[in-house]
Amino acid sequence: MNPADDSETAFKNLVLRSCPFHDGETIDIAGIRITRYSGEFWTSAQRKASSVHEISYRACFKPQLPHFFIKNLTGVGSRIYDPFSGRGTTVIEAGLLGRQIASNDANPLSRILTRPRFFIPAEKQVAARMAEIPAGTGERAEIDLSMFYDQKTEGEIVSLRQYLINQEETGRIDSVDSWIRMVATSRLTGHSAGFFSVYTLPPNQAVSPERQVQINKRRKQVPEYRNIRDLILRKTRSLVRDLTPEERTRLNNAGKSGLFLTGDSGSTAPIPDESVSLTVTSPPFLDTVQYVKDNWLRCWFCGIDAAAVERGLTVTRSLADWCKAMGSTFRELFRITLTGGYVAFEVGEVRGGSILLDEQVLPVGAAAGFVPLGILVNLQQFTKTSHIWGIGNNESGTNTNRIVVFRKEA
């Protein structure tokens, strides 16, 4: 029997154990016969995700998705990788499960939001450090932020920003500073009193100053004072509220041996050949999400050149260019994946559902040398962000997870 047949059978059995009420349908994509399975393979009701995941980032997938593949396809100590790491969902979940980790993203924000959660300081350490940082209530930003913040709040933000950038530039930034930066970056804007700003869109979408002025007028609101030290401590408590000592230890161990890369997903030399057991990832979906536009305020706070980041991102309107970039990524994944290892590549539906990216990715991964095992379509309920995008049914938009699963055969 062909080894690939054994792999496909094992994968089918895994699928049917997870969602026994759907056999799937066999389809032909670019001359490749493959089965596409639809169902609820992972949902928020099946298991509660760890509180440490609760850092907002545009277009991130739920922790239950990587959990499904990590638990079913790897063992403790295996290396798990994400080349488009975003907020770090895959590697954080892998760390919680006792795996080794490697992450990469073209946006430096990814490392800022991910790495600190592997080295979690005690709340009293965060409080003591915050007390040492000058409040600087009279400081002003070099850009107009008056539509987002009360003047005193802005002063506290600018003072904290200057401190953190100076710590970074002088090589003195430590795990406590990094944690504070991560939390503050996640609290810059949002739609509740837990954020530094006046009411605005959810925190994974920083609107433009001009748009915020209109929101303020429509809601007849004026920015009020928010004590950023109190809010950073509150969010710290929230992030670690259900972490066990064992999980903290696993995260710390994974972080010590982990790789946190910032660069091109098609060129990851620090990752050794045949060292990754499983990749779980989701790339940018053409031009569906404007990552830099949505993160302009976070980039400003962290001293990141947003324009330079944008040039390094795979955000394009051209499907051919997108597939070319994915081809480069898959060739690199083939180099670093163990024989017998897997890639779970999550994509979606774009252009009103007229383009199904799983059908584009399948031949790209196969051309790199991987054996396609199947496609999982996880049907899910809409999120608030989905409604903001104007998505209203299960036939369009990015409301379904479509995961193409590949294996590297001998």
For 209-241, write each residue's pLDDT tens digit.
999 999 999 999 999 999 999 999 999 999 999
CA distance 73 to 282: 18
Are residues 89 and 159 part of one domain? no
Confidence of residue 392 (pLDDT cuts 50, 70, 90): very low
Q: What mean pLDDT comes out for the span 299-310? A: 87
Are residues 262 and 381 part of one domain? yes
Let me know if residue 118 belongs to a domain.
no
Let me know if residue 146 belongs to a domain.
yes
Confidence of residue 353 (pLDDT cuts 50, 70, 90): low
Q: What mean pLDDT comes out for the span 361-366? A: 96
CA distance 383 to 271: 35
Quick check: 4 pLDDT over 80?
no
Q: Which of 92-106, 152-166, 305-319 has the lowest mean pLDDT?
A: 305-319
Residue range 14-31, pLDDT digits in tens: 887 776 656 688 999 999
Are residues 179 and 283 part of one domain? no
Confidence of residue 316 (pLDDT cuts 50, 70, 90): low
Residue range 137-185, pLDDT digits in tens: 788 999 999 999 999 999 999 999 999 999 999 999 999 999 999 999 9
Quick check: 286 pLDDT over 80?
no
Domain boundary among 239, 273, 306: 239
Q: How many CB atoms lie within 10 A of CB 93?
A: 28
Let me know if residue 117 belongs to a domain.
no
Quick check: 44 pLDDT over 60?
no
Are residues 260 and 211 part of one domain? no
Quick check: 399 pLDDT over 60?
no
Domain that holds residue 378: 3-107+243-407
Confidence of residue 387 (pLDDT cuts 50, 70, 90): very low
Quick check: 57 pLDDT over 70?
yes
Confidence of residue 289 (pLDDT cuts 50, 70, 90): low
Domain boundary among 239, 269, 293: 239
Are residues 292 and 264 part of one domain? yes
Let me know if residue 264 belongs to a domain.
yes
pLDDT of residue 350: 66
Average pLDDT of the chain to the nearest whole number: 88
Domain boundary among 239, 274, 290: 239
Q: Say what percent of the chain tops pLDDT 90.
A: 68
Highest mean pLDDT among 73-77, 134-138, 310-314: 73-77
Which residue, 200, 201, 194, 216, is CA-closest to 388?
Answer: 201
Domains contained in the chain, number = 2
Let me know if residue 80 belongs to a domain.
yes
Quick check: 382 pLDDT over 80?
no
Are residues 63 and 164 part of one domain? no
pLDDT of residue 3: 54
Confidence of residue 324 (pLDDT cuts 50, 70, 90): very high
Are residues 359 and 257 part of one domain? yes
Q: What mean pLDDT comes out for the span 84-112? A: 96
Quick check: 322 pLDDT over 80?
yes
Q: Say what percent of the chain tops pLDDT 70.
A: 86
Are residues 268 and 165 part of one domain? no
Confidence of residue 6 (pLDDT cuts 50, 70, 90): confident
Are residues 249 and 229 part of one domain? no
Q: What mean pLDDT comes out for the span 119-129? A: 98
